[in-house]
Amino acid sequence: MKAVNHFRCCLMALLLLLAGFGEARAQCRDTPPAGCPTAFEVFDAGTGEPLQSLCVGQRIRVTITCPERSAVDRNALYYQFLAADLATAPCTGYTSRTNTFTVTQAGKLTIAENAQNPSNPGTGTIFLRVFDVAAVPKPAFQVEACAPGSIRVTISDQAYDTYTLRINTGPLLRVNKGAGARNYPIPGGATTGQVVVKGRYNTGQCVGADSIKFTTLPLPSTPVVRRLVLSGTTAQLQFEPAPTGYQYVLEQADATSPSGYRIVPQAVLTTTGASVGGVSAPACYRLRIQDVCTTAGLPASTPVCSVLLSGTSDSGQNTLTWTTDANAASFVLKRDGQLLTTLPANSRSYPDAAVTCGVRYCYQLETTTGSGTTSTTVVSNETCLTTTSSSTLPVPQLVASFTPTNQVLLTATVPGLPAGGRVRYLRTVGQGAPTEFALTARRTLRDSTLALNPEAAPCYQAQFVDDCGNRSALSAPFCPVVLSARAADLLGNTVQLNWTELRGPDPAASVQYAVQVVDASGAVLAQPLSGATASGSFLDLTPPADRQLLRYRIAATSPSLSQPSYSNVATVSREMKAMLPTAFTPNGDGLNDVLEVKGRFLSTFTFTIVDRNGQQVFRGTDRTQVWDGRVGATVPVPGAYVWRFEAVDETGKRVVQHGTITILR
């Protein structure tokens, strides 16, 4: 058969040359019969699945399945498997009748078939197919052991389009390409096993696989903080090294965190200790153990709390105070490194009177929490004091602000002393001398004795007096804004405002002023009219049109004030006035058919009309009530009538107006 086929190919080449087609090249490839998309099919030798592309390492089988080729003698089939992309089939070399083949390299594979021609047994046919061959390297991945119950798998491979993962006999899990490290539970809670990762291409059926065995970490013991020392503003902790495969995380108590603790970002951890800088208040810490899976439920140490020690010296005595959340059995107070005294657990202060003025002493507090192998020693910061015979009293800070009723509300704050002692309040008016008008333990006080005079604005000062009668220096003067207001035209349609400047606790701080329109209770109706301004005057061109009595105040703000300081409320009263025509024509023509009261700032009033006989023919109490000239059902009677308007305005003033009105035909 091979000799016949070779003769056929060579004969075809000779004919082509004689026909003048140029250089002779053997064209041994045949066209499959009609009805056969391909002359033969390729199947996976193990699964029997038809293949359109191949994989390195795959065992394949070549079979004729097309009915049009059913007459081919299966015993006269020869194959060649060539690792190349051939457009022309080889004419020779068909020595193997084996139709199975194991793919060994990626790229292209040409499969050529040499068969007997059923229609002309003296000749043969050669068919070929070219297949893409994909490489199937083992996918690269890593497995990290965690506490019993979970492992961490990182698929770093990028060769395949999709990946699957199976742990022991657990479910097959799909993993997106580039997903990185992920934590996985171990099915059945096993502590050993293997992870199988397979990679697949989106096209074709090629799969690369690899496996890694694992053993989970043993359960760790509960960590213990052995020592906590507060050194200046740095908390230093000591503990045992973490078990192999685990690491520590330092956490601080935080009521806003869902777990009650948050990781301390500024903590510096070593294998046997940690330090936290910038500590300005007592804090509670715990040491939590974790693995690379950060498995929940791993043990954490018993919380340990720092002790913050501070002290003051006054009148020949040093007073030590401390704050802590430590669950201590007792405290040991040391002075200059020597035991001074032992104090009960609920103690938070100690007066040391056995001291000498002018001598410097250093104190430190120690306590032990827990017991036995889980005990922790807690050492406070060191605080040093030079004993003094008396202290310099803190200077109060004073703020003054007018109330809506034009009383001055004074608020004194004594730094470091929210209670105790007394405050001496002084007032200066104009160019006068400061005058004491109150000495009280109250930190807030109303000055109801002030006679407000815009020409002589008041200023206030405060002085702290301790229980021994010692006095502090006077506070900086605080002069609230004093406002005056007047109508800038006869009708009060514009208002001129002028005010004094605010002098606050910080004379160098800038002050901004905002004009407010308020009601009788001090509620703001328009804010601000002028915006923030540094000037002391403002012309209101658009006061509220519906208010007879205008109330203004100034809100002064400054970086040195936590809230605005308000001026007094200055008022401008405008005249209430009714306006009526001298005649109207109630004849039904739609023009001037009724008499209605118009005017400024009218709310409730009494409006009456009497005829020439002195009989009342109409009475109204608001602007919705109008007179159409009728008296009962009687048609309007032309003539002159007398009207009277009476009201009480917003200031309490009685307003009376009267005049005549004529009914015309």
| Residue 389 pLDDT level (bands cut at 50, 70, 90) | low
DSSP 221: P
pLDDT of residue 22: 31
Terminal CA-CA length for the chain: 137
pLDDT exceeds 70 at position 532: no
The mean-pLDDT minimum among 56-60, 387-391, 519-523, 610-614 falls in 387-391
Instruction: Report the 10 Å Cβ neighbour count for 353.
Output: 10
pLDDT exceeds 70 at position 13: no
The mean-pLDDT minimum among 29-43, 462-476, 530-544 falls in 530-544
| Residue 16 pLDDT level (bands cut at 50, 70, 90) | very low
The tens digit of pLDDT for each residue in 400-423 reads 999 999 999 999 999 988 887 899
Separation CA 125–CA 113 (nearest Å)? 8
Q: Does pTM top 0.85 for this prediction?
A: no
The tens digit of pLDDT for each residue in 197-211 reads 999 998 777 899 999
pLDDT of residue 11: 37
pLDDT of residue 467: 64
Which one, of 68, 64, 61, 66, lies nearest residue 42 by Cα? 61
Share of the chain above pLDDT 90, in %: 66
| Residue 242 pLDDT level (bands cut at 50, 70, 90) | very high
Q: What is the mean pLDDT of residues 645-661?
A: 92
pLDDT of residue 530: 60
CB-based contacts of 126: which residues, under 8 Å, 6+ apart? 5, 28, 29, 30, 89, 91, 112, 113, 114, 115
| Residue 121 pLDDT level (bands cut at 50, 70, 90) | confident
Instruction: Name the 3-class secondary structure at 458.
Output: strand
Mean of per-residue pLDDT scores for the chain: 88
The tens digit of pLDDT for each residue in 128-180 reads 999 999 999 999 999 999 999 999 999 999 999 999 999 999 999 999 998 89
pLDDT of residue 7: 37
| Residue 453 pLDDT level (bands cut at 50, 70, 90) | confident
Separation CA 575–CA 655 (nearest Å)? 9
pLDDT exceeds 90 at position 650: no
- Measured on CA atoms in the order 82, 85, 89, 91, is the torsion positive or negative? negative
pLDDT exceeds 60 at position 303: yes
pLDDT exceeds 60 at position 15: no
pLDDT exceeds 60 at position 292: yes
Task: Put the strands of the sheet holding 107-116 in their side by side order.
Answer: 54-55, 124-134, 107-116, 78-82
pLDDT of residue 20: 33
Looking up tokens 């003769």, which residue turns up?
A: 7
pLDDT of residue 588: 86
